[in-house]
Amino acid sequence: MPKVYPIVKYGDPVLETPAEPVTVFDGALKQLVEDMFESMYAAHGVGLAAPQIGIGKRIAVIDVTFKEDPKAKLVLVNPEIIRTDGKQRSNEGCLSLPDFREQVSRARHAAIRAQDETGKWYEKDSGDNELLARAFQHEIDHLHGRLYISHLSALKRDLMRRKIKKLMKAGEWM
Ligand SMILES: [Zn+2]
């Protein structure tokens, strides 16, 4: 049975610490990847990075179709962005920042190189799928210890931080 992990929220240092590369491709990694998909779906997300479940490893999972297309399930182990092109600006959310959405500028196209859960390297281009391009950039940011709020203006970022502090004080965060 896959395990559903609770999602770590903004404020936990694991989210702002660069994750460590994966070097062992074993059964435990396969299980973790399965658990990450389960945890992502349970939280109604289309992407999840391992630091978001408290694991500081360079692993992310993405399914921008949210279960519609099994072939859309992507496992990104040790991923890197190898190409970006163009610009897009639209609303972005993050499971670690629940109930917030902000306009974030990203590249319109992105291609990555990553390993799957067996250690095999592959390349994937977002093509015309802007949501996938955004997901690549968002999840790989997580593995560098970066959240989307770092892409906002200082003014917007401070406003968001203040709102979150209020929620923390009220016990409505964590
Ligand atoms: Zn996120």
pLDDT at position 158 is: 96
pLDDT at position 25 is: 98
What is the Å distance from ligand 1's center to 91 Cα? 13
pLDDT above 70 covers a percentage of the chain that reads 100
pLDDT at position 174 is: 76
Whether 139 sits among the annotated catalytic residues: the reply is yes
Write a three-state SS string for the chain.
CCCCCCCCCCCCHHHHCCCECCCCCCHHHHHHHHHHHHHHHHCCCCEEEHHHHCCCECEEEECCCCCCCHHHCEEEEEEEEEEEECCEEEEECCCCCCCCCEEEEECCEEEEEEECCCCCEEEEECCCCHHHHHHHHHHHHHHCCCCHHHHCCHHHHHHHHHHHHHHHHCCCCC
What is the Å distance from ligand 1's center to 147 Cα? 6
Q: Which two three-digit tokens encode residue 2?
A: 């896959």
pLDDT at position 142 is: 98
pLDDT at position 101 is: 96
Residues with CB in 5 Å of ion ligand 1 = 94
- The one catalytic residue in 68, 123, 139, 172 is 139
pLDDT at position 1 is: 84
In 3D, which of 120, 139, 151 has the Cα closest to residue 64?
139
pLDDT at position 138 is: 98
User: Could you tell me the pTM of the whole model?
Assistant: 0.97
What is the Å distance from ligand 1's center to 104 Cα? 12
Q: Are 157 and 30 in contact (CB under 8 A)?
A: no
What is the Å distance from ligand 1's center to 4 Cα? 17
For the chain, which residues score pLDDT lower than 50? none
